[in-house]
Amino acid sequence: MNRNTLLNSLLEHDDQQWDVIVIGGGATGLGIALDAVTRGFRTILLEQSDFSKGTSSRSTKLVHGGVRYLAQGDILLVREALHERGLMLVNAPHLTTNQEFVIPAYTWWDCFLYTVGLKFYDLLAGSLSMGRSYFISASRVRTRLPLINPNRLKGGIVYHDGQFDDSRMAIALADAFVSRGGIALNYFRVTGLLKNEKKRIDGVKALDSGTGAEHIIRGRLVINATGVFADEIHRMDDPHSKPTIRPSQGVHIVLDGDFLQSSSAIMIPKTDDGRVLFAIPWFGKVVTGTTDTPLEKISEEPRALDYEIDFILKTAGRYLTRPPGRADILCIYAGLRPLAADPENPKSTKEISRRHKITISDSGLLSIVGGKWTSYRRMAEETLDRGIKAGLLPSRRCLTRNLKLYDNNQVLRQERLRIYGNRANEIEKLIVQNPGLGEKIVPGLPYTRAEIIWICRNEMPFTLEDMLARRTRALVLDARASIKMAPETARLMADELGFDITWQDEQIKAYNRFIMSYL
């Protein structure tokens, strides 16, 4: 993917009408764009900042049916998500893994309850099951989880779910979309909706943040897939539009792998306040969370609240023999879930289903809100089918169920490079040509100069933040180490993208300001 090439392609077709214009470059928008282009629709996607900048890069890193939603009785949601989980692991094997979980049980009733519940979870997965669940003794729990609190431990339940790299998955979807003829532009903000004489939406006005140029883009169908920002687009359509979502903040902290010392993850189904707690091994670290905090305001860069961080630390400390403290945190990240408020209890969001909602306005704006990463493909399919049913597009069937995002059996010297997809061997070729490019940029993080160069040439990073937060996961793995990585990364980016020393200095300063909310 090359931004200038895609921008030139847009300009060359400036007077043509697109079949589908997708607003939003997160999981939902990218999934819709890929579905649309594979159905043969001329499709363009516009993202106001970077791909997966918002909630889509701040998940728990799970591809799962949702044990929590099973407990809430939303069996249909769980069954659908388990099916999509299976498809995602088959279609993106380079970014997904089969993760073993252990639920430690401290009462015999919990042993019975969770064993039975997870057998039902297995049953709902059907032929796409990732492994059966089963009860294990307390001693076997301690073998799997050597740092689990053994006090009154009765046993545990083992089950399997999927794990993935969320922002790398977003880039894989964008690449698959562009390689099939779509245009995806980051830092391209939609500023207004266009309507014809019948007051039907027939395009958008957009601003290219890179050049400052304004664009008029015409299309048959405009899809609003902007997550927590959906109401902003609704108000462009109808200034009197009522709010349709209520943001709920989910916070995670990242700890060193020494706090878990296990390849198995911990899942606590019900904490003191009814939430779920995960402690999951991820690239040598431990992702721990999450919270569910209703918020009144929506921000592109949400900040974790002190009591959310304290809640995670306190709860994790109850189940681990080595309780983590604030000084042990490598990264703190917060994401906003676009949930609908419960009219009976507007201050609560933790019992609300994650089921998505699709609507069409009187002027033809097709919007989707809610949902979860695991179900992105099905959400995309249902969104386009809804547009077809409404007569906004001709009927064409979905082709993404078996669409492989990775189909290369290449042998790599460094297996971890497989996250870069079918062309990962190009990074190794750069290192063969210049061995110095294979050296780590800083100790403690795995990333090399060759990776930065290859990403610049193929994945459209626009800022230093894009590179350190989402193309690589340096920020999430160790925020302080990513600060040390910033100067050399900025230099490499400037050389590849044609920027000067002033750009480098500005990017480093901006990144140092940005990262403060992650520490």
Do residue 335 and residue 272 come from a single domain?
yes
Look at residue 405 and tell me if it is in a domain: no
Same structural domain for residues 441 and 458? yes
Asked if 422 and 509 sit in the same domain, the reply is: yes
Q: Are 275 and 262 in contact (CB under 8 A)?
A: no
Please indicate, yes or no, whether residues 155 and 269 belong to a single structural domain of this protein: yes
Domain shared by 288 and 200, yes or no: no
Q: What angle do CA 410, 411, 416 make, to 5 degrees?
A: 100
Domain that holds residue 446: 415-518
Mean predicted lDDT score pLDDT of the chain: 93
- What's the whole-number mean pLDDT along residues 136-162? 97
Token pair recorded at residue 202: 């027939």
How many structural domains comprise the chain?
A: 3
Contact 162, 96 (CB under 8 A): yes
CATH of the domain at 153: 3.30.9.10
Sole residue written with tokens 């699709």: 358
Residue range 338-347: average pLDDT? 55
Count the helices and strands in the chain (H runs, E runs). 16, 18
Residues 283, 135 share a domain: yes
Length of the chain: 519
Residues 497 and 515: their CA atoms lie apart, in Å, by 23
Residues 331 and 261 in one domain: yes
CATH assignment of the domain containing 444:
1.10.8
Query: 284-312 pLDDT, tens per residue?
Result: 999 999 898 888 889 999 999 999 999 99
Report yes or no on 35 lying in a domain. Answer: yes
Query: Are 237 and 378 contained in the same domain?
Result: yes
- Distance of alpha carbon 52 from alpha carbon 62, whole angstroms: 16
Residue 376, in any domain of the structure: yes
Domain co-membership, 250 together with 157: yes
Q: Are residues 258 and 232 in the same domain?
A: no
Examine the fold and report which residue of 339, 367, 402 is the final residue of a domain before the chain moves on: 339
Question: What distance in Å separates the CA atoms of residue 340 and residue 415, rounded to the nearest whole number?
Answer: 42
CB atoms within 10 A of CB 169: 27
Backbone dihedral angles phi then psi of residue 242, each to the nearest 5 degrees: -85, 150
Answer yes or no: is 98 within a domain: yes
Q: How far apart are CA 31 and CA 225, in angstroms?
A: 10
Whether pLDDT at 10 is above 90: yes
Q: 217 in a domain, yes or no?
A: yes
**Residue 340's pLDDT is what?**
64
**In this model, does residue 4 exceed pLDDT 70?**
yes
User: Is the residue at 79 inside a domain?
Assistant: no
Is 412 within 8 Å of 425 (Cβ atoms)?
yes
Quick check: is 215 in a domain? Answer: yes
Q: DSSP for 262-306?
A: SSSEEEES--TTS--EEEEEETTEEEEE---EE-SS--SS----H
- Residue 69 lies inside a defined structural domain of this protein: no
Residues 325, 179: one domain?
no
pLDDT of residue 343: 37
Give the integer Cα–Cα distance in Å for 128 and 426: 33
Nearest to 178 by CA among 88, 47, 44: 44
Q: What is the DSSP letter of 158?
A: E
**Distance from the Cα of residue 310 to its chain's centroid:** 24
Q: Answer yes or no: is pLDDT of 348 > 60.
A: no
In contact, 281 and 272? CB cutoff 8 Å: no
Quick: pLDDT tens for 366-396.
999 988 999 999 999 999 999 999 999 999 9
pLDDT at 341 > cutoff 60: no
**CATH classification at residue 17:** 3.50.50.60
Q: Are 104 and 129 members of one domain? A: yes
